[in-house]
Structure formats: structure tokens, C-alpha cells
């Protein structure tokens, strides 16, 4: 039987910024969380190491069943966060499904061998160093859209010409292939993961949020 939270009102996992906690608790919804322990024996028989099953169980316990608003890229991201049977080998490493896509995509959302949150199309591409980084990125995008005076979308090879002089990276998003950058009055989100994973430079995208005051730049982050 699936384990279900006592209340559909989300209680934010620890370790997030105040901005991300508000985002989870006001914009998120908990749905049924799965009891992955019931699959342990079957997964073990199929060669999945105990440590990888433990990782999947821990992810499900922390994030499983959390539905967040659509992401601004990646075909809106996973519909609901949640783990499934780990995939991989001792040679290549192991990946854990992180949640089903909202629509048909050429890639899936996975947790990497080191806990990275990313996508796998033609190749594995880690977007953020953790699921926390992914959630922080969603929260920052929602906040920036709300407070920016203008939002500019840049696509394709033009993304490589985005001038980051005067900007510093936003650390809480734990950016790897994707990243966020902050200046005195603007935020820039760089979405490179889809282009890298699919070997498709036309999929590069950047969102530039301008006209932000201090609250707009930080927002309790």
C-alpha cells in the first residue's frame, strides 16, 4: 500500500532558502508517496545494489509525491517528484528516475550517481548538484517573474553572447549545466541542459529579468 502524507498541505523539506520554502508550501501540493521498500527484494534480484535502493527510498521519503508548478523550461519539468527502480551498472554508475515528465519528451529526469538532478537524452546531463538546487531554481524563476519589470527570452546560439559582466552566480541553485546569475538590478537564468543532452544547440535558452529591486533580487533567499 502506498504511504500517503497526513495532509496535502506541503511542509517544506529542510535545507532550502526561505524563498524556496515559501514556494513549496504555497505553490506545491503533496499527492500519494510510494512505499518503495515493498520493491526491495525484487530490485535486489534484478541486480540493483542495496545502496542504490537506499538512495531511491531516501529520495522518495524527502521529495516523493511533491507536485510543483510547471518549470519555465524542459517542457515544464516533472509532473510529480518521485523515485523508481534505479538504472545502470557497477561500471557506468547508477541513476534514479526523479519524476515522470508532464508531456512526451526526448529525455527523462534522473538523479545522478552523486545525487545530481538532471536529464538524460542522448547523454546524461546534470543540471543542478542536487534536487534542492532544482527546487531553488523553480522558486527563483517564479519570484523573478513576479517582480521583474521586463522579461526577455533569448534562444539558440544567441545565448552564448549573453554578457555576464557584472553578474555573480546565484549559489543556492547549485548550478552545473544550468545556472542563475545576479547583478545589481537583474537576474539571468541560463538553460543549457536540453541542448547538451540532445546535442541540439538550437535548444539553448536564457531568461533575463530586469528592473528588480533588492526584494526582487533576493526575495528572502
Residue 56 φ/ψ, nearest 5 degrees? -65, -40
What pLDDT was estimated at residue 10? 63
Query: Following CA atoms 132, 98, 196, 167 in sequence, which dihedral angle do they give, to the nearest 10 degrees?
Result: -10
205-210 and 29-30 beta bridge pairing? unpaired
Q: How confident is the model at residue 8 (pLDDT cuts 50, 70, 90)?
A: low
168-169 and 150-155 beta bridge pairing? unpaired
What pLDDT was estimated at residue 93? 94
Q: What does the block give as the cell for 70?
A: 510547471
Closest CA to 110 of 132, 90, 86, 93: 86
What pLDDT was estimated at residue 2? 46
Cα torsion angle, 21, 26, 28, 29, sign: positive
Q: What is the pTM of this model?
A: 0.93
**Chain segment 72-84, per-residue pLDDT in tens:** 999 999 999 999 9
- Give me the percent of the chain exceeding a pLDDT of 70: 95
Distance, CA of 22 to CA of 99 (rounded, Å): 22
Residue 75 φ/ψ, nearest 5 degrees? 50, 35
Closest CA to 208 of 185, 186, 193, 179: 186
Q: How confident is the model at residue 104 (pLDDT cuts 50, 70, 90)?
A: confident
Amino acid at each position: 500500500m502506498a504511504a500517503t502524507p497526513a495532509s496535502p498541505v506541503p511542509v517544506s523539506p529542510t535545507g532550502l532558502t526561505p524563498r524556496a520554502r515559501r514556494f513549496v508550501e504555497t505553490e506545491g501540493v503533496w499527492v500519494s508517496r510510494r512505499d518503495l521498500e515493498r520493491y526491495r527484494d525484487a530490485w535486489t534480484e534484478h541486480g540493483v545494489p542495496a545502496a542504490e535502493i537506499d538512495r531511491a527510498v531516501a529520495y522518495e521519503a524527502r521529495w516523493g509525491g511533491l507536485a510543483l508548478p510547471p518549470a519555465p523550461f524542459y517542457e515544464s519539468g516533472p509532473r510529480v517528484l518521485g523515485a523508481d527502480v534505479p538504472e545502470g551498472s557497477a561500471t557506468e554508475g547508477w541513476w534514479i528516475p526523479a519524476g515522470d515528465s508532464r508531456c512526451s519528451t526526448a529525455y527523462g529526469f534522473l538523479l545522478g550517481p552523486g545525487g545530481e538532478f538532471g536529464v538524460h537524452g542522448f547523454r546524461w546531463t546534470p543540471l543542478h548538484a542536487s534536487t534542492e538546487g532544482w527546487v531553488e531554481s523553480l522558486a527563483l524563476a517564479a519570484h523573478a517573474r513576479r517582480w521583474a519589470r521586463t522579461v526577455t527570452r533569448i534562444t539558440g546560439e544567441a545565448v552564448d553572447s549573453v554578457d555576464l559582466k557584472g553578474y555573480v552566480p546565484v549559489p543556492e541553485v547549485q548550478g552545473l549545466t544550468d545556472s542563475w546569475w545576479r547583478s545589481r538590478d537583474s537576474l539571468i537564468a541560463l538553460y543549457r541542459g536540453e541542448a547538451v543532452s540532445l546535442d541540439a544547440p538550437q535548444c539553448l535558452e536564457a531568461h533575463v529579468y530586469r528592473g528588480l529591486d533588492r526584494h526582487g533580487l533576493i526575495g528572502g533567499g
